[in-house]
């Protein structure tokens, strides 16, 4: 869990919300 933003993106995905480019940047 070195990137807390990743967890936020996962929550957004589960909620069905649009994920920011942070997800792409993390990958």
**Is residue 19 predicted with pLDDT exceeding 50?**
yes
* Token reading at 22: 């942070």
- Residues 6 or more apart in contact with residue 17 via CB below 8 angstroms: none
**pTM for this prediction:** 0.39
pLDDT digits (tens, 9 = 90+) for 4-16: 777 887 887 888 7
Q: What is the pLDDT of residue 1?
A: 55
Separation of alpha carbons 6 and 3, rounded Å: 6
Q: Following CA atoms 4, 8, 13, 14 in sequence, which dihedral angle do they give, to the nearest 10 degrees?
A: 100
pLDDT, averaged across the chain: 70
């Amino acid at each position: 869990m070195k990137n807390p933003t990743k967890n936020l993106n996962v929550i957004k995905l589960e909620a069905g919300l649009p994920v920011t480019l942070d997800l792409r940047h993390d990958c």
